[in-house]
Chain A
Amino acid sequence: MLAPLAAVLLFLAAIVAAFGYLRLEEVEREQEAVRRDVEYTQQRLRLRLLERQEQIMRIARDISNREVDAEDFQTRAEALINEYPELETISWIDEKKRFKASYGTASLSAAQRRLTGDMLKADETESTYTLAKDLQQPIYAQRLAEKDKDSHLQLHVPLVDKAKFAGVVLAEYSVDGLYRYGVPAEISARYAVSLLDAKGERLAGTSIAARRPLSGLQPWSTPLNEYEVPVSPVGNGLVIRAQAYRTSLGVVGSGLFWLVIALSAMTAWMLIGNWRHTRRRVQAQQALVSETNFRRAMENSMLTGMRAMDLQGRITYVNAAFCQMTGWAESDLVGRTAPFPYWPEADRETLASILNEELAGQSTPGGIQVRVKRRDNSLFDARLYVSPLIDSRGSQTGWMTSMTDITEPNRIREQLSASYERFTTVLEALDASISVAPLGSDELLFANKLYRLWFGVQTQGHLQLVAQAGVPARTAIDESRDSVDSFAGLPTASLHETETESAEIYLPEHDKWLEVRTRYLSWVDGRLAQMVIATDITSRRLAEAQSAAQAERAQNASRLITMGEMASSVAHELNQPLTAINNYCNGMVSRIRSRQITDADLLGALEKTARQAQRAGQIIQRIRSFVKRSEPNRALSEVAVMVDEAVELAEIELRRRNVRLTHQVAMRLPKLMVDPILIEQVLVNLLKNGAESVDSAQRPTARRSVELRVMPQMVDGKSVVEFSVIDSGKGIAPEVMERLYEAFYSTKADGMGIGLSLCRSIVESHQGRMKAENIYNGADVTGCHFSFWIPVDELSPVAGTVPDTQHSILG
């Protein structure tokens, strides 16, 4: 993947290198050319200068040889200057530095003209003059360029007269002229040629300005191609420099470079595109391979056998499942025509006709059930589905058949139907009626035999059961609580999980008591339905009623027995008012007889008599109401009222036994859901037992007491009302304690052993508990503590905690 990219990069690098190399070569060649041309120009200049020098030296020699006078000199100078325009002036200066003769070009300014008889100015050429005089050689000197004046080159050629210095011939060249005439035209056309002095100041010619900043951006731009050489006869005083003009070669070169760059970029882009394409192809290939593998795995894992046939009925393909099902190998089947080896011999004709139908395209959409023979000659049931094989061009190439082993489904179906049958049998045989109906519909989803027997096949029975079972329980709760239905706001889906309602109802038309349980359930089609299970509990109800009646009879009997045991006490209690009445009457009689009574006295006595008669009547009334047989009647009852009734009854007995009774009832007790007569019965029994115990212990007067305490308590997190009876008797012997609540077990000589066991059953029938324990002072038993509690009905308002008008009055 990286290799092509590397190749492109390498190629690019090679191009750049080659380009650079060529460029360098070019530059070098150019430099060579510059050097050569400069050398050539310098040569030309030198030659020119040397020629002039030669001519001037000839003049000088002629002067020295006195062959020339000033006039001749003038003529010759004129000829010379006219011929060679670079020469500006030629002057003859004698040994006294005086111009003997001079000729200058016409273009010379007046200041530059040398006039005969002038003295050589000290500032300009005197040093050169002196040098030439000293060295006896021609000396070049450069006159400093003055402002707005061309630079000049001076040549001092000494004149020797009889080995004696006799002045100089001064030739002044215009450097500009030298440049104009000395430098060949083709050179100056190609280069910017300039003549420089020793300090690099340009004297003549042109030079290329300093490089533009823009050209600096071109990395390949070479430094300005230039070359400079001193012009030889003059020495370092004059330097010729040539600067090559920028040729069009650079433009052509960079264009090439850009082309190469563009091509390289395109190559790289193509390469990347190619690489991406390759990658996609590889991915597609991998996907194809995995898809193929997946399909193969699917085929192999599939339990459905697949068989493909061409249009002639020749097997072209079977999958692994098909081979496994039939037991034949793939090689045994592919290429075979009918009859196929897995056809049972018996079914061959039918199968052949089916195959023909298949090939004719007359396949049944639901599939065909056939028998298939395995290689081991065992048979199994299979279902075949046929569909045409269509290739990518849309033409049919054959038939694809799928085969499913339906032995197992058949078996399961049979089992299912058997289990359904069992289930139905059980439900039908159940002695409860079961019905299921969706909410808000008259449809009956399910009903068993008993339901059909009782209610027929209509929904009315179901609805009646729901109505009778559901409504009373609900409203009872709602009314007493005066709060929102606790199921309100609950999603209906959670209803059938949480709520199983149970109620006992009476169906007068069937004369039956039914226990009805309803339950919400999601029916098989997802609808919320209500199932009602009604069990006949008539016999149970009867038994319960009987046992309740029995219990009631027992309670009644027990109350009678209690009263019987208290008979003498009651007689004593009744005797008191009767005695008083008797006395009052006798007193009145004797007074009336002796006629010593006033009407007021008589009236007072009569009132007292009447009050005593009422008192006797009250006692009888109380006993009657205690003993009176009454229906079990549970109602919210005031604890204080029950306690008062019980205490008054018990006091009859306690008074007779000279036992003090104190009772203490906590304030603000909640009402209890009890049958008050039964609770009174328990209290009277316990108080009476306490008194008997005190009596039989023969305690002294001060210790003859029974105490009754009633106060609210908490038992296992429930609030209850606890009744405690504490006596100061002899307690309960350990062996008695075990059999305390046993019926017909008594420690009393005349006891029947019914009292305590009945008390306990009464308390427990009110969901309460009863217990007894001795009170010890050290090792001595100083009394006994009987207690029982009755749970406070959670629904009844509790004074003090719940602001309730009813109770705040009572409290």
Chain B
Amino acid sequence: MSLIPKKGTVYVVDDDEAVRDSLQWLLEGKDYRVRCFDSAESFLSRYDSREVACLIVDIRMGGMTGLELQNRLIEGHSPLPIVFITGHGDVPMAVDTMKKGAMDFIQKPFKEDQLVGLVEKMLEHAKGTFSEYQHAASRDALLSKLTLRESQVLERIVAGRLNKQIADDLGISIKTVEAHRANIMEKLNANTVADLLKIALGQNAPKG
């Protein structure tokens, strides 16, 4: 959880230096923190997922295209909201990106209000998804503390099975199950079974 200066960070990826530079100029005028990359590859190598940020990317680029960059981010479960810059006649391609979860696309040349609004909206969204992402990340960290046996026990608790049944399943005594259960509760920092369930299910829950 890093500091959020001003209104948030905007990543700009465009292979046209003028467009990149002018976007930076425009957005910095609106008190955004702007970081520019001339290619998708350099962006991926420098991207810090812990930051609350949004991404503006040109759909056409030499080397890795905007679409390919989107695919890579989806693969990495990145919460980064994306808006694509498109040229004239690239609308079919842009629609494709929307289906894959892009926030929006914006046609060159941009209208300032439209762009700023879009950035605002994305950062807003990013804040949400970012806290979710933070939770998920901490949950993952908690779950990773469990031993293999404890994970198995938790799995069965979430499945709604009784201690006795769990003991039968795993071929261990009820007492042992209870001990595991106590350890799990402690490790996951849960007070009730409902908490436990929430944490455990949140792990596999799809993100918005």
**Interface-facing stretch out of B58-66, B69-77, B170-178:** B58-66
Residues of A within 8 A of B61 (CB): 658
Q: Does A195 contact B (CB under 8 A)?
A: no
Whether A576 lies near B110 (C-beta < 8 A) is no
Whether B89 lies near A568 (C-beta < 8 A) is yes
Jot down 13 A-B pairs with beta carbons below 8 A, ordered by A: A572-B88, A575-B88, A575-B108, A576-B18, A579-B109, A580-B18, A583-B25, A584-B26, A586-B112, A588-B25, A608-B22, A612-B18, A612-B22
Complex Cα distance, B112 from A502, in Å, reads 71
Whether A701 lies near B65 (C-beta < 8 A) is yes
Cβ 8 A contact of B109, one of A575, A608, A655: A575
Q: Does A660 contact B (CB under 8 A)?
A: yes
Whether B112 lies near A590 (C-beta < 8 A) is yes
Whether B87 lies near A575 (C-beta < 8 A) is yes
| A residues adjacent to B (C-beta < 8 A) | 568, 571-572, 575-584, 586-591, 594, 605, 608, 611-612, 615, 655-656, 658, 660, 701
Contact indicator per residue, chain B 6-36, by CB within 8 Å of chain A (1) or not (0): 0000000000101101110111111000000
User: 12 other contacts beyond A588-B25, A612-B22, with CB at 8 A cut-off?
Assistant: A571-B87, A572-B87, A576-B108, A579-B19, A579-B109, A580-B16, A580-B21, A582-B109, A583-B19, A655-B60, A658-B65, A701-B68
Cβ 8 A contact of A583, one of B23, B60, B62: B23
Complex Cα distance, B28 from A642, in Å, reads 42
Q: Which chain B residue shows the least CB distance to A578?
A: B109
Residues of B within 8 A of A580 (CB): 16, 18-19, 21-22
Q: Which chain B residue shows the least CB distance to A594?
A: B29
Q: Is the interface of B mostly helix, strand, loop or mixed?
A: loop
Residues of B within 8 A of A581 (CB): 22, 109
Residues of B within 8 A of A701 (CB): 63-65, 68
Q: A580-B22, A587-B26, A608-B21 are in contact. Are A658 and B87 (CB under 8 A)?
A: no
Complex Cα distance, B18 from A660, in Å, reads 20
Q: Which chain A residue shows the least CB distance to B27?
A: A587
Q: A571-B88, A582-B109, A583-B110 are in contact. Are A655 and B25 (CB under 8 A)?
A: no
Whether B88 lies near A605 (C-beta < 8 A) is no
Q: Which chain A residue shows the least CB distance to B112?
A: A586
CB distance from B40 to the nearest CB of A (A): 11
Residues of B within 8 A of A658 (CB): 60-62, 65
Please indicate which of the listed interface residues B18, B62, B112 has the most CB atoms of chain A within 10 Å of its own CB. Answer: B18
Whether B65 lies near A586 (C-beta < 8 A) is no
Residues of B within 8 A of A577 (CB): 18
CB distance from B46 to the nearest CB of A (A): 21
Residues of B within 8 A of A660 (CB): 62
Residues of A within 8 A of B63 (CB): 701
CB distance from A729 to the nearest CB of B (A): 18
CB distance from B191 to the nearest CB of A (A): 50
Residues of B within 8 A of A655 (CB): 60, 62
Whether A587 lies near B29 (C-beta < 8 A) is yes
Contact indicator per residue, chain B 131-146, by CB within 8 Å of chain A (1) or not (0): 0000000000000000
Complex Cα distance, B68 from A139, in Å, reads 185
Q: Which chain B residue shows the least CB distance to A612?
A: B18
Complex Cα distance, B21 from A608, in Å, reads 9
Residues of B within 8 A of A586 (CB): 26, 29, 112
Q: Which chain B residue shows the least CB distance to A583?
A: B22
CB distance from A682 to the nearest CB of B (A): 26
Residues of A within 8 A of B87 (CB): 571-572, 575, 656
Complex Cα distance, B64 from A120, in Å, reads 184
Whether B25 lies near A578 (C-beta < 8 A) is no
Contact indicator per residue, chain B 104-121, by CB within 8 Å of chain A (1) or not (0): 000011101000000000
Q: Which chain A residue shows the least CB distance to B63?
A: A701
Whether A590 lies near B18 (C-beta < 8 A) is no
Complex Cα distance, B23 from A553, in Å, reads 44
Complex Cα distance, B89 from A590, in Å, reads 30
CB distance from B94 to the nearest CB of A (A): 14
CB distance from B71 to the nearest CB of A (A): 13
Residues of A within 8 A of B28 (CB): 587
Q: Which chain B residue shows the least CB distance to A596?
A: B29
Whether B18 lies near A608 (C-beta < 8 A) is yes
Whether A584 lies near B88 (C-beta < 8 A) is no
Complex Cα distance, B14 from A775, in Å, reads 34
Complex Cα distance, B61 from A582, in Å, reads 21
Please indicate which of the listed interface residues A579, A611, A660 has the most CB atoms of chain B within 10 Å of its own CB. Answer: A579
What are the nearest 10 A-B pairs in CB distance? Answer: A583-B22, A580-B18, A586-B112, A580-B22, A587-B25, A587-B26, A579-B109, A572-B87, A579-B108, A582-B109
Q: A577-B18, A583-B110 are in contact. Are A605 and B62 (CB under 8 A)?
A: no
Complex Cα distance, B28 from A403, in Å, reads 128
Cβ 8 A contact of B22, one of A571, A584, A589: A584
Residues of B within 8 A of A579 (CB): 19, 22, 108-110
Complex Cα distance, B87 from A656, in Å, reads 10
Residues of A within 8 A of B27 (CB): 587
Residues of A within 8 A of B30 (CB): 590
Complex Cα distance, B92 from A568, in Å, reads 14
Complex Cα distance, B22 from A583, in Å, reads 5
CB distance from B92 to the nearest CB of A (A): 13
Please indicate which of the listed interface residues A577, A580, A701 has the most CB atoms of chain B within 10 Å of its own CB. Answer: A580
CB distance from B83 to the nearest CB of A (A): 14
CB distance from A701 to the nearest CB of B (A): 6
CB distance from B106 to the nearest CB of A (A): 10
CB distance from A622 to the nearest CB of B (A): 17
Residues of B within 8 A of A589 (CB): 112
Complex Cα distance, B17 from A580, in Å, reads 9
Residues of B within 8 A of A576 (CB): 16, 18-19, 108
Q: Which chain A residue shows the least CB distance to B90?
A: A572
Complex Cα distance, B112 from A572, in Å, reads 19
Whether B26 lies near A583 (C-beta < 8 A) is yes
Complex Cα distance, B28 from A758, in Å, reads 52
Cβ 8 A contact of B29, one of A571, A578, A591, A608: A591
Residues of A within 8 A of B16 (CB): 576, 580
Complex Cα distance, B18 from A582, in Å, reads 11
Residues of A within 8 A of B64 (CB): 701
Complex Cα distance, B89 from A615, in Å, reads 22
Whether B108 lies near A578 (C-beta < 8 A) is yes
Cβ 8 A contact of B60, one of A578, A587, A656: A656
Complex Cα distance, B110 from A577, in Å, reads 12
Residues of A within 8 A of B68 (CB): 701
Complex Cα distance, B61 from A611, in Å, reads 22
Residues of A within 8 A of B29 (CB): 586-588, 590-591, 594
Residues of B within 8 A of A572 (CB): 60, 87-89
Q: A584-B26, A586-B26, A660-B62 are in contact. Are A615 and B18 (CB under 8 A)?
A: yes
Residues of A within 8 A of B88 (CB): 568, 571-572, 575
CB distance from A651 to the nearest CB of B (A): 11
CB distance from B208 to the nearest CB of A (A): 31
Residues of B within 8 A of A611 (CB): 18
Near A by CB (< 8 A), chain B positions 39-70 give 60-65, 68
CB distance from B37 to the nearest CB of A (A): 17
CB distance from A610 to the nearest CB of B (A): 12
Q: Which chain B residue shows the least CB distance to A576?
A: B16
Residues of A within 8 A of B65 (CB): 658, 701
CB distance from B185 to the nearest CB of A (A): 51
CB distance from B161 to the nearest CB of A (A): 50
CB distance from A357 to the nearest CB of B (A): 116
Complex Cα distance, B18 from A580, in Å, reads 6
Complex Cα distance, B65 from A581, in Å, reads 24
Complex Cα distance, B26 from A588, in Å, reads 8
